[in-house]
Structure 1
Amino acid sequence: MMAFPKVLTADQAAALIPDGAVVTVSSSSGLGCPDAMLAAIGKRFDETGHPRNLTTLHPIAAGDMWGIKGVDHIAKPGLLARILGGSYPSGPSSAEPPAIWKMITFNEIPAYNIPSGILFDMHREAAAKRPGVLTKIGMDTFADPARQGCAMNAKAAEEPVVRKVEFDGDDWLYFKAIVPEVAIIRATTADERGNLSYEHEGGYLGPLDQALSVRNNGGIVIAQVKRLAKSGTLKPQQVLVPGILVDAIVVASDQMQTTHTVYEPAISGEIFRPLSSFEVPEFGVSKVIARRVAQELRYGDAVNIGFGISANVPRILIEEGRHGDVTWVIEQGAVGGVPLLDFQFGCASNAEAIMQSPYQFTYFQGAGFDASLLSFLQIDRHGNVNVSKLGVRPHVTAGAGGFIDITARAKRIIFSGFFTAAAGLAIEHGALAITKEGKVRKLVNDAEHVSFSGSRAVAQGQDITYISERCVMKLTAEGVLVTEIAPGVNLERDVLAQAEFPLVVADDLKVMDAVLFQPGRIGLDIGGGRA
């Protein structure tokens, strides 16, 4: 568009976006969110009624419920006409739903939950002017048109984004490429020629792929940055997005590094924190589960980790003196280090490397890693897992994000969670005490939403383990098999009777390691020759 990028205010840049545009936004919740630009678009619409009828693409997610509004700035009737996201802002069931969830739930706009890796693949195909993505990622999950086809509401179901096709004698999912006309990306620094560097960011995410898809199709690339530098002062190795792809620069000096975090240099790899500075989980039932998950690890593994109980496993390894025995890999791009928790989830401190998210997803989709530690909301009789939708308040989940990309071919997956919801649990005298049974069963006949396909896992020979506070289970061709129970647990009353479907019980049923239920270190041994 412009010979060289212009430095504009956020309001001026928002005025560049035409009605009806397809806009791609780089963000992962609060991480890398170009919040000032999204706020300016919402403000312009409130004042002028423009831009109208935007379609927005969010490969991971934009914003959250804790101070970085992101997509909620533009979740306005008339402004937003359609949205495709890897995930969405989430929050507690007691909280008021985000504005975007109200629009989705009340069927105001077509809304889609597309696996994050596939959304990045769609950008790459649009950049190269290829027709779309052929993939088996998402088969027999909610991404499959045989189920919901990524549709989050009735309007989306009327306008499918995926179909099943036959190619070269096999069945595939086909996602047609969507050509974006505007990219809103973020960086730390822009020089006067528009070259972008990421020295204060906790992850690159996918701005290069998003900028290429827009530039190659004649669109506008807007970069929100923290600061402006003189031309020629950025070293070429620092530049991730070259200025030839950038049309406008918006300086937002107060942009947050991630949610509730102005700037931590360990997140961006500029310093390393001492291991002693990481808090380890307090002793309790959640820690017991995390410890049992840690026992599944093998020395030298590259291990993906997700949100939930398993996010504490890296801290179990720190406490046990085993940090570094496995390498953690997360979808936002960090490789190694210590994945962070809570508001900083998606970032890592002390990372060995930070990959661009599209390439991290290629690594996941092709199962180059060794194991994944993930959570479950529901497990059903087929071994299917739901993490993406639950009940009448769907905003308590964020959607699937990269979960489907990660699990579709993973060699080993360890799912963790509580066996029932809201049970009264305690540890007494080295055993589990169930003081009140949970109100909601999580082992159900049919999962409300299929985020992971048990039948495909069995067919592909994937090694699937489910770990809860009261038992360990494995997925087999015969069904879900109970292999271990916790000390203090009654198999019939506390396990079999609390599942809606019949569980298979191993002939050599074991009791979970008693040391898991004691305070202090457990002497974790995952190989590698250390005690």
Structure 2
Amino acid sequence: MDKVVRSAAEAVADIADNASLAVGGFGLCGIPSELIKALLDKGVTGLDVTSNNCGVDEWGLGLLLRERRIARMTSSYVGENKEFARQYLSGELEVELTPQGTLAERLRAGGTGIPAFFTRTGVGTQVADGGVPWKYDGDGGVAVASPPKEVREFDGLEYVMERAIVTDFALVRAWKGDRHGNLVFHASARNFNPLCAMAGRISIAEVEHLVEPGEIEPDEVHLPGIFVQRVVPLTPEQAADKRVERRTVRQKGA
């Protein structure tokens, strides 16, 4: 089945207000920037987004956040986005902070049909006991707090139960993909992208290099096409438009 669509705008055309999204990438590495911009242009709002982080103020998911298009975030790291912090602390944004490994496993579990799992991470903390502020009321009080989670003992150790994540759509970026949706990710861009694609009921991949079926060796496939419903080929200019999250350089002569 040929899953290629002509543009990012066409690929996201049926994403409606209040949809839930899983968005790949880590920092600014491997983020589906063209699909995010297409969503921004479409004007959807009230989005419930699961992603490792929320981009930066001027790139990635930060563009949607700046325009108040995101109502809720499930993330593990949000330290590079000042607007994110402002909206969260002022009560404009609901945020579920999740340990990074737990977030990855929640996405993977959602994609494999596992409804929940037990982990040691978070036992004895507010992650398990509840009370983590999800949303503030604007006056410094907590409007919504995390609920307590089931804790069970296995072999003398306590484990906390975490629910899987399944979203309406997933947006990911791949280095290479074929028309059947088989994807290959380059280096550290193979972070949350495969997991997010697995978790989405409809997964959309923007690919830097589109090839024909059979050109990717089976052993090279990082994510099989069964998890991908739409493929958007990028132009060379779009593929090259990548940002550095934080640039660190040496002083001359150091």
Same fold (TM over 0.5): yes
Name the residue aligned to 1:188: 175
Structure 1 residue corresponding to 2:97, chosen from 113, 131, 138: 113
Structure 1 residue corresponding to 2:53, chosen from 46, 49, 61: 61
Structure 2 residue corresponding to 1:243, chosen from 209, 225, 228: 225
Name the residue aligned to 1:397: none
Q: Percent identity?
A: 22
Alignment of 1:41-440 (within 5 A): 41-45=39-43, 50=44, 52-58=45-51, 60-65=52-57, 69-75=59-65, 79-90=69-80, 97-98=82-83, 100-141=84-125, 143-145=127-129, 148-149=131-132, 151-154=133-136, 158=144, 160=146, 163-168=149-154, 171-199=158-186, 201-214=187-200, 219-252=201-234, 253=236, 254-255=238-239, 259-260=243-244, 342-343=246-247
SS in 2 for 1:182: strand
Aligned 8 A contact 1:110 1:153 in 2 = yes
Name the residue aligned to 2:251: none
Instruction: Tell me how far apart the structure 2 counterparts of residues 83 and 17 of structure 1 sit (CA, whole Å).
Output: 17
SS in 1 for 2:188: coil
Q: Comparing both chains, which one has the higher relative contact order based on Cα–Cα distances under 8 Å and sequence gaps of 6 or more? A: 2
Aligned 8 A contact 1:27 1:62 in 2 = no
Alignment deviations for residues 86-132 of structure 1 (CA, whole Å, 9 cap, x no partner): 112516xxxxx23x333212111211221111011111222233332
SS in 2 for 1:7: coil
SS in 2 for 1:163: coil
Aligned 8 A contact 1:26 1:207 in 2 = yes
Alignment deviations for residues 208-257 of structure 1 (CA, whole Å, 9 cap, x no partner): 3322232xxxx211001112122222222222112222111223332358
TM-superposed deviation, 1:161: 5.8
C-alpha spacing 1:101/1:36, structure 2 compared with 1 (3 Å) = farther
Instruction: Please tell me the residue identity of whatever aligns with 1:14.
Output: V
C-alpha spacing 1:56/1:37, structure 2 compared with 1 (3 Å) = same
- Provide the aligned length of Structure 1 versus Structure 2: 241
Alignment deviations for residues 115-167 of structure 1 (CA, whole Å, 9 cap, x no partner): 11101111122223333232221234453435x43x35336862526524234
Aligned 8 A contact 1:53 1:81 in 2 = yes
Aligned 8 A contact 1:29 1:89 in 2 = no
TM-superposed deviation, 1:62: 4.0
Gaps in structure 2 of 5+ consecutive residues = 249-254
Instruction: Tell me how far apart the structure 1 counterparts of residues 228 and 158 of structure 2 sit (CA, whole Å).
Output: 39
Instruction: Tell me how far apart the structure 1 counterparts of residues 24 and 217 of structure 2 sit (CA, whole Å).
Output: 23
Alignment deviations for residues 167-197 of structure 1 (CA, whole Å, 9 cap, x no partner): 4575432222232121111111222222212
Q: What TM-score does the superposition give when structure 1 sets the normalisation length?
A: 0.41
TM-superposed deviation, 1:77: 6.7
Aligned 8 A contact 1:28 1:62 in 2 = no
**Larger Rg belongs to:** 1
Alignment deviations for residues 332-378 of structure 1 (CA, whole Å, 9 cap, x no partner): xxxxxxxxxx548xxxxxxxxxxxxxxxxxxxxxxxxxxxxxxxxxx
Name the residue aligned to 1:22: 20
Q: What TM-score does the superposition give when structure 2 sets the normalisation length?
A: 0.81
Q: CA RMSD in A?
A: 2.8
Alignment deviations for residues 389-436 of structure 1 (CA, whole Å, 9 cap, x no partner): xxxxxxxxxxxxxxxxxxxxxxxxxxxxxxxxxxxxxxxxxxxxxxxx
